[in-house]
Amino acid sequence: MYRMLLINPGSTSTKIAVFEDENNVYEKTLRHTAEELAPFPTVASQKDFRKDVIIKFIAENNIDTKFDIIVGRGGMLKPIEAGAYEVNDEMIKDLISAQYGEHACSLGALVGVELAKAFNTRVIIADPVVTDEMQEIARVSGHPMFPRISTFHCLNQKAVARRYAKEHGKRYEDLNLVIAHVGGGVSCAAHGKGRAIDVNNALGFGPFSPERSGTLPSAILVKLCFSGKYTQEELLKMCNGKGGLIAHLGTNSGIDVENRIKEGDKHAELIWHAMGYNIAKEIGALATIFKGKVDGIILTGGIAYSKDFVDYIKGMVEYIAPVTIYPGEDELPALAQHGIMVLNGEEEVKVYK
């Protein structure tokens, strides 16, 4: 039996879990108040604070600290292939400098390596959001200064892809799948023979989402930038954080939107279905990459719990291939899956460099 500690940091919380093989035997979300985080100027500077919170919680709850491995959520690194990576000095340096971006997910490795020292074990990360397996032609946009980049919900997408393959008695590496993750952000990817060969950048391209604007008309955006009405920070928030459903309807909650629709709000219905319409178009576009040979379409993420939303998308795309729904985000089981595969020798640990 393999015993693993899993770490999934968020902006105001740190989710930890203890898995014994595939069994989740203990899970806790440790919340951090704005006051607690206020003294830290950067995400990386929260490292020791979050480590101490975890160690204190583990001690207070008498959790056995004999772990075969610690698996952290991957952070903002240079573009790398999917898989498991040993946390090394080069990775730590890049995460602390935040040269590839700053996000709480980077604390998975930063906190993980400190806990590994404390508990005398090893630490890996797996399938970070910067995973890049795009084919070369997919990187080309309409201007060489703006290449298309890969930023997507890799951990959950790869996990549901492997789950789908297992349930159908096949190997992920033998399938052509189109997967749409619909949560606070939206990422759609074409998975060809085990690689995400084309994706939309979930932080600035593709369908809009509850909090993000997705692709916007470039000329209008440029004019806004020089209008003098908005700061750079305000415009960035307009794209990510205060776009999408928030901009249109003042909420990022799919439940709120559906309640408004039930009460007869036609505008809310239009925007809700427009989000589904855009996702369906993205799925259709990605399906063309496989020239009709699509084994399955998968919808996942928090909004996949909405039957109305899922049915709207299914009605537009199920002619392409059967649609499977895996609602929610199985990030902790996905991290555990990598831990098991590394420990039993199924997966080779890669070197970040």
Question: Whole-model pTM?
Answer: 0.88
Given this model, what pLDDT does residue 329 score? 84
Contacts of 312 (CB under 8 A, 6+ apart): 273, 276, 277, 280
pLDDT in tens, 86-122: 999 999 999 999 999 888 999 999 999 999 999 999 9
- Residue stretches of the chain with pLDDT short of 70: none
- All domains of the chain in start order, with CATH: 3-132+332-343 (3.30.420.40), 154-328 (3.30.420.40)
Nearest Cα neighbor of 53 from 27, 24, 14, 19 is 14
Q: Which two tokens stand for residue 288?
A: 């063309």
Q: Which residues of 58-83 are buried (b: 16+ CB within 10 A; e: fewer)?
A: beeeebeeebbbbbbbbbbbeebebb
